[in-house]
Amino acid sequence: MSGADWTPAWLWLAVVASGLFHGVNPGMGWPLAVSAGLMERSSRALLAALWPLTAGHLLAMLLVILPFAVLVTLVEWQHQIQIGASLLVIGFGIFRLVDRRHPRALARIRPTQLGLWSFAVAIAHGAGLMLLPIYLGLCRQADLDKGHEAAGTLMNANLSMAVLVSVIHAAAMIAAGGCSAWLVYRYLGLKFVSRSWFNLDTSWAISLILVGAIALLLGLGD
């Protein structure tokens, strides 16, 4: 199998890996699912809380990616769009690395509004931005003969790819987050969380910068 054949596989692996990374991060909400299960003393309450968390994260991914799905229809500007998206991701990563404060608006969302909370947190942390370079890379791999494609057909393909990337990423995210929540709820307990609490904000910011830098180097190398 050639390097070109491996490229889409690595890109899809990156979609799944970023979802698992987001899911394990406590900042994406799985402790809220544990809290729901403990308050109602029911594992069903825990599982029910995962659905709005998934929906909010998925909507955040789509909100960021879908506009670019329309933009990359402008084939002659695709190279510039990829470079611009890479710089955007790098810039946001640097911002998150320097400014660790969480937006005050997040504190105003009630704990019962899990879907809205998940959506707002994903936007505030740049979760969708992390997927942008990966998504644009998949579009370039899929549109090998894009010069002969009608704009409408190309846009439909890009929109479908955006939805697929978002869904797979969100599924990986909630799988990792759900497993973390279940382990804490069923076996490890809250004491484990308080003793071994981990904050991934720094590694999140660094990963944004790395993803953007790799995409930028690939874009400049074309």
More confident residue, 16 or 153: 16
Closest CA to 24 of 211, 207, 199: 199
Contacts 24+ apart (CB under 8 A), 158-162: 158/69, 158/70, 158/72, 158/73, 159/66, 159/69, 159/70, 161/69, 161/135, 162/62, 162/65, 162/66, 162/68, 162/69, 162/135
Closest CA to 109 of 97, 120, 100: 120
| Structure confidence by residue, pLDDT tens digits, 156-208 | 778 889 999 999 999 999 999 999 999 989 888 777 766 655 666 778 888 88
Band the pLDDT of 142: cuts 50, 70, 90.
low
H/E stretch holding 69: helix 43-71
Task: Please state the domain count of the chain.
Answer: 1
Give the per-residue pLDDT at 5: 47
Give the per-residue pLDDT at 206: 87
pLDDT at residue 87 above 60? yes
| Structure confidence by residue, pLDDT tens digits, 51-73 | 999 999 999 999 999 988 887 76
| Structure confidence by residue, pLDDT tens digits, 15-39 | 999 999 999 888 888 888 998 888 8
**C-alpha span between 21 and 4 (Å, rounded):** 26
Q: How far separated are the first and last CA of the chain, in Å rounded?
A: 22
The answer for residues whose C-beta is within 8 angstroms of residue 120's C-beta and 6 or more apart is 56, 103, 105, 106, 109
More confident residue, 175 or 138: 175
Q: Which domain holds residue 16?
A: 3-221
| Structure confidence by residue, pLDDT tens digits, 88-103 | 999 998 988 887 666 6
Closest CA to 111 of 171, 177, 49: 49
